[in-house]
């Protein structure tokens, strides 16, 4: 998990300008230029009904984002698509690298 200062709050989500959206098979990534690094992950109920599984998936995505976005000044939001609760860390990192580079 990233430090709290690097995570988006609910207030931040509501006030975000439009950015570029890149679509992949597992998730969509929205990237917005900003002065600091901010990360957000959205895991809807359609991914998994169990909160524990959604939180585990969210942590895996955050972990992949932290390694890829080191030193960048951008806001990144990842929206998971339906049925992707069993993604491994390796698959998540590879897909994020494709979408963010």
Expressed in angstroms, the distance from the first to the final Cα of the chain is: 21
Confidence at residue 25, expressed as pLDDT on a 0 to 100 scale: 93
Rounded average pLDDT over 75-81: 93
Residue 85 has pLDDT above 80, yes or no: no
Give the containing element (helix H, strand E) for 70: none
Does the pTM surpass 0.85? The reply is yes
Fold of 4-100: Ribosomal Protein S5; domain 2 (3.30.230)
Strands 27-33 and 20-23: antiparallel
Instruction: Render pLDDT for 16-71 as a digit per residue (tens, 0 to 9).
Output: 888 889 999 999 999 998 899 999 999 999 998 999 999 999 999 999 999 899 88
Q: 21 - beta bridge partners?
A: 30
Residue 1 pLDDT class (50, 70, 90 cuts): confident
């Amino acid at each position: 998990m990233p430090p709290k200062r690097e995570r988006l709050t609910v207030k931040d989500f509501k006030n975000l300008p439009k950015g570029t959206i890149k679509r992949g098979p597992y998730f969509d990534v929205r990237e917005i230029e900003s002065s600091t690094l901010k990360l957000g992950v959205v895991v809807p109920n359609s991914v998994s009904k169990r909160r524990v599984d959604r939180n585990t998936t969210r942590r895996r995505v955050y972990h992949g984002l932290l390694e890829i976005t080191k030193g960048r000044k951008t806001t990144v939001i990842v929206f998971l698509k339906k049925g992707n609760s069993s993604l491994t860390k390796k698959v998540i990192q590879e897909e994020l690298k494709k979408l963010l580079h």
